[in-house]
Amino acid sequence: MIGILLGTRPEIIKMSPVIRECEQRGLDYFILHTGQHYSYEMDRLFFEELELPDPDYNLDVGSGTHAGQTAKIMTGVEEILAKESPEIVLVQGDTNTVMAGALAASKLHMRVGHIEAGLRSFNRQMPEEINRVVTDHISDYLFAPTESARENLLAEGIDDTKICVTGNTVVDAVYQNLDIAKKKANILKDLDLEPRKYFLVTAHRQENVDNRARLKEILKGLEGVQKEFSLPVVFPVHPRTEKRIKEMGFGVDGLNLTKPFGFLEFLQLESQAKLVLTDSGGVQEETCVLGVPCATMRYDTERPETLDVGSNILVGADAKKILEGVRSATAWKRAWRNPYGDGIAGKMIVMVCAAARSQ
């Protein structure tokens, strides 16, 4: 029995290749959705769109303080793991679901597999960095997406025999789900957009949207991009970001603010954009795989491979640097190599888990 824990939409996306591989192999597994950011009902569309089975368990923990949310997740996860007794528990990424799920499993003496292990921003001000480090150090199987991630783990004293470099499931997810998207969505037509003649934006990180000065600079920078290039700037607004914009009384001039899209619609928008501006780690990876330039509105990144291959540039939360970065990145040739593997990470991870179950 394999337990698959997830709690946010990026985790659903990146776990989708693992779930599909378990299905194809006919393995005994279950899915536990913690509902960290949204209720399962709000995420149901993601499972339906991606043609994934419904979760077996839904905790619906909702938002809260880091300590409160982590405690709720651990309590709920512990009860279900004790009932199901999986041989291995899989978590993916760097959320509170990941750390809480890994802790609960480890304390029940169950083996933990961390997908996307070894990523480091080296910035402990980010709660995600703390979640990554803690999870890596209590995991039994560390599925590192790249050699540099493996080197990070070795530098922290983690046993090399626990580490397996698999590539990143984001590659599998982009390839598999882009095929589904082509059949189910036509968002460019719906929004009257032309390929490579619009910018796409995402912004949701606490250090950006909860900081008045940074959020103001980001919005100013986005407005500057729209004015200089005279192209639509499509900004699907995360609920947290929308709330902060209203609370802080910011006007938004010239930006196409929309509701959040389903993943298939977003993937289509991402794949055809002139450039994507984001503070999301997953979007940095997806644009790299899709061959679309990315400007990251942060001062550091746990995805240094995107900087190394030339698909991404850090522009921080400064209006002037955002505009300068976009000017630079829109001139790039889209010829970088994909550093995240060849789309078989899900297969490799499940192979290791299947072998582990027999031990």
What are the sequence ranges of the domains in the chain? 2-168+342-357, 178-329
- Supply the pLDDT for residue 138: 98
d(CA 29, CA 205): 32
**Full pLDDT tens readout for the chain, 359 residues:** 999 999 998 999 999 999 999 999 999 999 999 998 766 666 888 898 899 999 999 998 888 889 999 999 999 999 999 999 999 999 999 999 999 999 999 999 999 999 999 999 999 988 999 999 999 999 999 999 999 999 999 999 999 999 999 999 999 999 999 888 888 888 999 999 999 999 999 998 889 999 999 999 999 999 999 999 999 999 999 888 999 999 999 988 899 999 988 889 999 999 999 999 999 999 999 999 999 999 999 999 999 999 999 999 999 999 999 999 999 999 999 999 999 999 999 999 999 999 876 66
- Supply the pLDDT for residue 359: 62
User: Rounded to 5 degrees, what are φ and ψ at 6?
Assistant: -150, 160
What superfamily does domain 2-168+342-357 belong to in CATH? Glycogen Phosphorylase B; (3.40.50.2000)
- Supply the pLDDT for residue 355: 86
204 is catalytic: yes
Tokens 């290039």 appear where? Answer: 229
- Supply the pLDDT for residue 213: 95
d(CA 277, CA 202): 6
- Supply the pLDDT for residue 116: 97
Of 115, 128, 147, 157, the closest CA to residue 340 belongs to: 147
Q: Yes or no: say if 29 and 56 are a contact pair by the CB < 8 Å rule.
A: no
DSSP class of residue 254?
A: S
Both tokens assigned to 143: 């599925």
d(CA 175, CA 163): 25
Both tokens assigned to 338: 């994909």
Q: Catalytic residue among 33, 137, 204, 238, which? A: 204
Report the residue count for the chain. 359
Residues whose CB is less than 8 angstroms from the CB of residue 92 and which lie 6 or more positions away in sequence, other chains included? 6, 11, 14, 15, 18, 98, 114, 115, 116, 169
Of 92, 76, 110, the closest CA to residue 5 belongs to: 92
| SS3 state of residue 328 | helix
Both tokens assigned to 138: 């209590």
What superfamily does domain 178-329 belong to in CATH? Glycogen Phosphorylase B; (3.40.50.2000)
What pTM value is reported for the model?
0.88
d(CA 217, CA 320): 9
Q: How many CB atoms lie within 10 A of CB 130?
A: 15
Q: Yes or no: say if 271 and 185 are a contact pair by the CB < 8 Å rule.
A: no
Fold: same for 2-168+342-357 and 178-329? yes
d(CA 306, CA 276): 13
Please give the C-alpha separations between residue 339 and each of 49, 147, 167, 274, 310, in angstroms, as whole numbers: 27, 10, 8, 21, 11
Residues paired with residue 234 on neighbouring β-strands, in sequence order? 200, 256
